[in-house]
Amino acid sequence: MDATLKKGLERFALEIRIGVLEQMKARGFGHVGGSLSITDALAVLYGSQMRVDPKNPCWAERDKLVCSKGHAGPAVYAALALKGYFPYEMLKTLNQPGTSLPSHCDRNKTPGVDMTTGSLGQGTSLACGMALGEKLRGHDARVFLVVGDGEANEGQVWEALMFAAAKKLSNLVLLLDVNGKQLDGCTKDILDTLDLHAKVEAFGFDTVSIDGNDIELVYNALERTRQGGDKPYAIVLNTVKGKGIAAVEQAKSNHSMAVSTDQWNEWLLSLTAQLD
Amino acid sequence: MELIYDGSMDSRLFKDILGKTIRELSEQDSDFIYLDADLMSCIGTGAWACENPDRGINCGISESNMIGVACGLAATGFKPMVHTFGPFASRRVFDQVFLSAGYAKNDITVIGTDPGVTATFNGGTHMPFEDVALYRTIPTATVIDITDVPMLISVLKQCKDLPGVKYIRVGRKNAAKMFADGTETPIGPAITLREGKDIAIFACGIMVHEAMQAANKLAEQGIDAAVVNFFTIKPLDAEAVKKYARQCGNVVVAENHSRIGGLYSAVCETLARENTAKIDVVAVNDEYGEVGPQDYLQKRFGLTAEHIVETAQALLK
């Protein structure tokens, strides 16, 4: 991987993290853990992989992202704002009355958001339909699908994976954010998903597992999903929930957090210090 | 609109008309796409889908996924029409239809076959008395209960291009002849089948035939009954509801559905502030379905012309 590109993507990830915290600071609370675990993957996607045009967010042949773990919306919004889909200042309207930035992704409210998600599992089927649609239209657009490991509790996820493999949707890339936690605690304690790599592979996906917070590994894994074939791709991202803010990483319950403005400021400061 | 009702049954089966119309819609519009959940053989689309795998998608027995896939296809510009049996097209996929289609504004048409007692030998597990109630709660959804063959063809053609969530409930067997072939039934307006001044019978689906028979029997007793076909349950033709309530002062609603949440509820909601008519209902009570032939089930659940006559007589006393 080119060193300059790597440095640029690492900085982009840092800026997304800052954007996530800016949104939550303005409202005082938010789904911080799952937004920070997927941040590095979003930085690589929007920074180097996805064929998109921020000036033309509805361009039919663009690559599309379905963030099926819709509560990671703030991470998507930060990436989109930094890409220029809408003014950065808008991030401070997260969950304010009448906002274009609701907790969960909404394609009808936010420029650049490709699909509405929030009821876990549903984004998987939507992404399959979009990938199938692109294929039927003869477009070479690809669909990137972000699913959480807690979300993998939902039966619909597995219906959709079966469909993707059966219909040979090689333009679909599943990014499974395995941060090990869900709302009530650790996934292994709530409903143990066991070996997700083996499961996804058994469902017919070309599957790799990597450290999902390592920009270079995520970049390399995504690069190899460009080779077509007759299988959909899966990248199991082993991540840390709350990645980037030590106190959030270590918090027992970090799915959604409400802390003081001073606390958000302190965390923001720790991130902005790394920008230089 | 030419009414040809004489009480006789159409020899054509709804399932054959469904399959034929779906094939024709696909030939006419390259954006049209049809999805099924392993029930293609039930409406005669299987062989065609094998020859046209790009426009006839068998999703297997996974209805929730099918709805999501259809919505994803809608997001890429297709006009999806999905089919499965009524209970699976409503109860089983309600959250997917509500959010992935309705809330997310992915426009799809859902066909639920074998509504209410027409599920006959598949029995209680397959007998939706609540599908209309569920779909009515989806904001701006279109909900339709089919009466006859020309209506089915007309409604399918309209739904292909209509925005929003559209739900069509229709049996797979045959029904009484109602309208002449080629009749267009625009979605929305109720259709007056018979004028009357003493009592109005509002009906949809298979109960329209029962309502017409009931009106004939009431006429023999000197009771002049109007029959109005409310095949579009949502958006309900509120003006027609109010007009006949005022005109007749007595209303019987007849539907192959639970009395909770269907056409009867919609009519009551419309008339609650009017205080213009006495209303009663011929519909399924608060209970589950069961197995049996349709004539048995119509008697068992109180869905016959006789039940309409008795209810009308009681209202007029």
- What are A203-214's pLDDT values in tens digits? 999 999 999 999
Which residues from chain B sit within 8 angstroms of residue A118, using beta carbons?
99
Domain span at residue A106?
Answer: 3-275
CATH number at residue A76: 3.40.50.970
**pLDDT interval class at A276 (50, 70, 90):** confident
Is A129 within 8 Å of B60 when comparing Cβ atoms? Answer: no
Contact between chains at B59 and A163 (C-beta distance less than 8 A) = yes
Residue B12 CA to residue B170 CA, distance in Å, equals: 14
Mean pLDDT estimate for chain B: 97
Closest C-alpha among A113, A109, A168 to residue A136? A168
Nearest chain A residue to B95 by CA distance is A119
- Overall average pLDDT of the B203-221 stretch: 98
The two three-digit tokens of residue B176, written as one number = 């009484």
CATH homologous superfamily for B14-170?
Thiamin diphosphate (ThDP)-binding fold, Pyr/PP domains (3.40.50.970)
Reported ipTM: the value is 0.96
Instruction: Name the strand (E) or helix (H) holding A225.
Output: none
pLDDT value at residue B275? 80
Quickly count: other Cβ atoms within 10 Å of residue B162's Cβ: 15
What integer pLDDT is reported at residue B145 of this predicted model?
98
Say whether residue A115 is in contact with chain B using an 8 A CB cutoff: yes
A with B: how many residue pairs have Cβ under 8 Å apart? 104
CA B288 – CA B298 distance, rounded (Å): 14
Q: What percent of chain A stands above pLDDT 90?
A: 99
Tens of pLDDT along A47-60?
Answer: 999 999 999 999 99
The H or E element containing residue A113 is: none
pLDDT tens-digit map of B276-317: 899 999 999 999 999 999 999 999 999 999 999 999 999 999
**CB-nearest partner of A128 from B69, B103, B104:** B69
B71 and A129 in contact by Cβ < 8 A?
A: yes
Residue B1 has pLDDT above 90, yes or no: no
- Rounded to the nearest angstrom, the minimum Cα separation between B96 and chain A is 7
Domain boundaries, given as residue ranges, for chain B: 14-170, 191-316
Q: Nearest by CB to A159, which of B62, B70, B75?
A: B62
pLDDT band at B274 (very low <50, low <70, confident <90, very high): confident
8 Å CB contact of A136 and B78: yes
Question: Looking at the predicted structure, is the pLDDT value of residue B237 above 90?
Answer: yes
Q: Do B65 and A163 touch (CB under 8 A)?
A: yes
Residues of B in CB contact (< 8 Å) with A are: 33, 54, 57, 59-60, 62, 64-78, 95-96, 99-100, 103-106
Structure tokens at B14: 């709804």
Q: Which of A145-149, A225-229, B128-132 has the lowest mean pLDDT?
A: A225-229
- SS3 of residue A194 by DSSP: coil
Q: A60-101: per-residue pLDDT in tens?
A: 999 999 999 999 999 999 999 999 999 999 999 999 999 999
Distance CA A5, CA B163 (A): 44
Query: Which residue's entry shows tokens 């949809």?
Result: B204
List the single best residue of B69, B84, B95, B97 to mutate versus A (max A Cβ within 10 A). B69
Q: What is the pLDDT of residues B134-143, one digit of tens each?
A: 999 999 999 9
- The alpha carbons of chain B give a radius of gyration, in whole angstroms, of 19
Q: What is the number of structural domains in chain A?
A: 1
Decide if B187 contacts B157 (C-beta within 8 A): no
Task: Kindly give the pairing relationship between strand B232-234 and strand B199-203.
Answer: unpaired
Query: What average pLDDT does this structure show over B96-118?
Result: 98
Q: What would be the CATH architecture of the domain defined by B191-316?
A: 3-Layer(aba) Sandwich (3.40)
Say yes or no for a CB contact (<8 Å) between B71 and A60: no
Out of A114, A126, A155, whose CB is closest to B100?
Answer: A126
**A163: chain B residues, CB-CB within 8 Å:** 59-60, 62, 65, 69
The residues, any chain, with a CB within 8 Å of residue A160's CB and separated by 6 or more, are: A121, A124, A125, A127, A128, B65, B68, B69
Q: Is the predicted pLDDT of residue A163 greater than 80, yes or no?
A: yes
Nearest CA in chain B to A116: B104
| Whole-number pLDDT of residue B276 | 84
B81: amino acid identity, one letter: M
Give the containing element (helix H, strand E) for A262. Answer: helix A261-275
What number of other Cβ atoms are within 10 A of residue A149's Cβ?
Answer: 25
Among A132, A159, A162, beta carbon nearest to B72 = A132
Q: Which of A108, A125, A133 sits opposite B76 (nearest CB)?
A: A133
